[in-house]
A and B are shown apart, each in its own frame.
Chain A
């Protein structure tokens, strides 16, 4: 652990943080750990899932307490709120904000064909979700009274498509509320004081390559900078050289094991090197042999998000 205090400076997180990365790298756990870390700093945090099915409900075993994760935020730990945003709920909220008449609202959503059209119309899903995520700074919709909103977003390809949607729409539809809203969403997403992109990788070839590619693509598409979190770094007790030295004098399974871990460690080192090149200020998170209490687990991982060594 880098504990040299003179070199440490606290990391700053923006009001809206998107977490992405290749599938299986631990995006959700990283999102929860970062959220937990920020509550420890005295911040009020909303941890958001996207979609219709909650991961955290099972993860935190909220179902055992008879709780469900829903659109309406719930406090699961002091200052740690959780919600799931599905696009229909976001859209409904948006519409009710614009159409003050409850009767009109009911007619709109009550219309069966309209419901199907909403399902089918391309880009509407993305806009509804991003509209909600950026609603605070845009002063649209109900107030989101949090210091930070941590969004456990989609994996690489889908996340890129999500962020690109308002730009695409704003380019074609310049007039009308949809064009204007899209333009505003883009401005919020591109404002480095409001929004932050975090890309999670784990130190294996594919997740690293894909994560770093996403970093390049977000820069290219929208001029966004992203912070890399390197998750699940294995803390080997001996060096690669020591493994290989031992392997020379061993045979059978022992030799295989030594050589196996030497290769794994090699891959890990190469990946971390690639990460450092792209983001010298990346956040390393060690692999954690956690017990069954998930709050202890995210509290432990959350410690990684505090300071950065210069």
Chain B
């Protein structure tokens, strides 16, 4: 069995941290786990905000986010006497809205903002560019953190191709807006229009010609409008990027990796832990979500019941063989992290009841010892 000191560490993390970022690959149940962790912390008496991206209808309804008006919503206030009066708040992340707000805040005139909002490349960028969802989540997180209203903020990260995309997103966005490239592009085109092509190096001139041949003048002119506008935002963007980097690296920030029992997902989690640690992020917990519930005291049965029990046993066998195979591989990323399992539960009538139920089902697992 797990020692109680180990069992208590998740509670300690919830108690001490100011920011928890739940990361993991798609479909593992990050949104549910984030909400459950937030619920658990609120139950401990904390004032908690959970930021979700794209919650399911049921969860959105339960968190009051189905007809969301943009303000944080109080989901549940816990009893003062029994639970220390914690509060669970929820909010959603809407990348497009956050980007548009940023445009308005950083434009000197309304007309300037509108030019950008109408630019097709901007529209593509604010909705579909990889990194834009991640970046806007971090921005929203930063804003909420600075408001100082909450004891703890739990961030559910957007679906990504790879978990690492999340931590790289500020860098990606930064590269896009960074000074030199904007300057470079603007300079070339200003000069070209003024007929002063000779000032740019020959290599650059050729490269630009090739770009024009490949994309066409129309694309280039859209690009020009885009860069002309962002060139004025450099400082604001740089500040946001630095702020979000600091936020992720902060002492009170922890990453929680969410995964499931699938061997490829576990392998990815291992790699993610290694990478996160290498970059100096704090990762202490991995949560293996949706594990098969465990019944150890099943009584022998006959007939139909026996058939179902043996079906259950074969499922159990299958999952444990997946783990066994994984154990034979290199899993050094798993050292010095704690494993928790959350069982797959069936739906309760009310999703808040599911969160309450789940919040009590975190179970420490002795992974490196070979038992799971």
Contacts and interface: CB of A to CB of B under 8 A. Distances in A.
The SS class assigned to the B binding surface is: helix
A51 B57 CA distance: 30
A177 B299 contact: no
B216 interface: yes
Interface stretch (A69-77, A242-250, A277-285): A242-250
A22 to B, nearest CB: 6
B215 A263 contact: no
A243 B203 contact: no
A120 to B, nearest CB: 4
Given A23-B159, A122-B128, A206-B56, A108 B185 contact: no
Contact of A246 (B218, B297, B298, B304): B304
Interface string B281-311: 0000000000001011111010111011111
A53 interface: yes
Interface in A139-190: 154-155, 157-158, 161, 164-165, 168-169, 171-179
B295 A177 contact: no
B263 to A, nearest CB: 9
A24 B222 contact: no
A299 interface: no
Contacts, number: 188
A223 interface: no
A178 B219 contact: yes
Interface in A221-275: 236-238, 242-243, 245-246, 250, 252-254, 256-258, 260-261, 263-264, 267
A59 B267 CA distance: 11
B318 A120 contact: no
B72 to A, nearest CB: 24
Interface of B: 25-28, 54, 56-58, 120-125, 127-130, 159, 161-162, 175-176, 180-181, 184-185, 203-204, 206-207, 210-211, 213-219, 222-223, 260, 262, 264-265, 267, 293, 295-299, 301, 303-305, 307-312, 314, 318, 325, 346-347
Interface of A: 22-25, 51, 53, 55, 58-59, 94-95, 98-99, 104, 107-108, 110-111, 113-114, 116-117, 119-123, 125-126, 154-155, 157-158, 161, 164-165, 168-169, 171-179, 205-207, 209, 236-238, 242-243, 245-246, 250, 252-254, 256-258, 260-261, 263-264, 267, 289, 292
